Amino acid sequence: MVTETREEQTFGKEKRERRMKRRFEIAEQVRYKMLYGQRIAETGTGKTLNISSGGVWFTTENILMVGMPIELSMNWPVLLNDSCPMKLMIYGCVIRSNEKGAVVAIERYEFRTQGSRALHQPVIPAPVEIRLPG
């Protein structure tokens, strides 16, 4: 389910948009890798809470170290050409983390295809007729 959300902040009687980018509530499983140079410092799984072109908020197994580079991988909820599953790869930096989750500022992202849906369907063998002599 994808819904749009905006976070507002009240200033006196006036409400003002806090975020510069539109955020969308997308709840998908996410895998993350904390990077320390070329080495993987920590890995984990969580669930995205919302996402925009500038950042993503997701649940984590542990509090993550702010300032660390991170790589996220999540299944995209929409099929390419109504048949091909996609994975969204996000590369960024942890800007906030607490017991509820972490926020990553997106530095770059890319979509990767995962093969057509037909390839992921279970294969049902065709019936075979066997005739024995006799």
Domain hosting 47: range is: 24-116
How many angstroms separate the CA atoms of 89 and 80, rounded? 15
User: What domain count does the chain have?
Assistant: 1
In a domain, 6, yes or no: no
User: Could you tell me if residue 16 is inside a domain?
Assistant: no
Q: What distance in Å separates the CA atoms of residue 43 and residue 115, rounded to the nearest whole number?
A: 25
Residue 75 identity: N
33 in a domain, yes or no?
Answer: yes
Percent with pLDDT over 90 in the chain: 54
CATH for 104:
2.40.10.220
Banded pLDDT at 129 (limits 50, 70, 90): low
- By three-state DSSP, how is residue 130 classified? coil
DSSP class per residue in 13-72: TEEEE--SS-EEEE--EEEEEEEETTEEEEEEEEEEEEE-SSEEEE--SSPPPTT-EEEE
Chain mean pLDDT for the chain: 81
2 — pLDDT class (breaks 50, 70, 90): very low
* Overall average pLDDT of the 20-33 stretch: 90
Is the residue at 40 inside a domain?
yes
Query: What's residue 11's pLDDT?
Result: 39
Six-digit token string for 120? 């992921």
Strand pairing class (69-75; 86-98): antiparallel
**Residue 115 clears pLDDT 90, i.e. is over it:** no
Report yes or no: 21 and 52 within 8 Å, Cβ to Cβ. yes
pLDDT, tens only, 56-113: 999 999 999 999 999 999 999 888 888 899 999 999 999 999 999 999 999 999 999 9
> In angstroms, what is the C-alpha Rg of the chain?
21
Tokens of 12: 């006196």
Considering the domain boundaries, does residue 93 fall inside one? yes
> Is position 130 within any domain?
no
